Structure 1
């Protein structure tokens, strides 16, 4: 008997410029399968609150924590300004991780995808630091981290791109 994939199955995200853990994070975010508070509550895990641990303004869903939370909005705005791109509003992560590539060349598009994925991963990491260690991140520091991690990942893993830090 051959096992068939469900019709809702999405392929694992791939970007050879980034570590597999970031691709897995993006894949889980696209499927809305990150362990956010509303999902944990649905599974019967007793929580003090299902509100966002960063802003406390809304229920913590994948879309909220990665797109709509004040910390995420601020960081995305900084990243879009850094790249001189207009920041459109997205309803979910799938749209976010697929957007803005039409206006970019294929090589630049791969770089942008790397920056997007690193940014989402850093937002998620900051959320976890806040939720479990009560450490609050800030936009300028997080932007520096996105820039540094993107540069490190791309410059170490790309054979075609010879990047310098000032680029």
Structure 2
């Protein structure tokens, strides 16, 4: 996330600015616009769908992202209690990671991105993260899938 905040993620446009031209500048997920950090995580249709599904799963208010700073502040705008807010912040970080990983799989391994698979990967990884974080608090997969954590 720190690389995103500093605009140091090697997106197609960032590489072009550094004179590393290797082909298309289009988004690795949607292939509709030039790939910038803002586009990849905020305005890409795939990313918007993922954020929507994560918001519904976590029972948060509608997620509207206009720039990267909105994602860093997302957990503060939920109205959740401290525990849920902290967990949601972790899920947001995992969502960034899975979006970036999916983009790389699409660009370098020619895999076709799939919203359901992306959201499932977010749930899977965040479940493991949460269980390690909360050593005393055992949560079942069913409760996690309903985001029934408190």
* TM-score, scaled to structure 2: 0.87
Partner SS state of residue 166, structure 1? helix
Say which one has the larger Rg. Answer: 1
Long gaps (5+) in structure 1: 1-25
Change in Cα spacing, 1:128 to 1:64, as seen in structure 2 (3 Å) is same
Q: What corresponds to 1:151 in structure 2?
A: 127
Q: What corresponds to 1:101 in structure 2?
A: 76
| Alpha-carbon distance in 2 for matches of 1:107, 1:85 | 14
Q: Counterparts in 2 of 1:113-132, with a 5 A limit?
A: 113-132=89-108
Q: Tell me whether 1:110 sits opposite 2:94 in the alignment.
A: no
Q: What corresponds to 2:29 in structure 1?
A: 54
* TM-score, scaled to structure 1: 0.79
Q: What corresponds to 2:146 in structure 1?
A: none
Q: Tell me whether 1:78 sits opposite 2:53 in the alignment.
A: yes
Q: What corresponds to 2:2 in structure 1?
A: 27
The alpha-carbon deviation at position 93 of structure 1 amounts to 2.2
| Alpha-carbon distance in 1 for matches of 2:105, 2:59 | 29
Of 15, 23, 26, which aligns to 1:40? 15
Q: Structure 1 segments of 4 or more deviating over 3 A?
A: none
Q: Tell me whether 1:166 sits opposite 2:135 in the alignment.
A: no
Q: Tell me whether 1:135 sits opposite 2:111 in the alignment.
A: yes
| Alpha-carbon distance in 2 for matches of 1:104, 1:98 | 13
RMSD over aligned CA atoms reads: 1.5
How many residues were matched structurally? 142
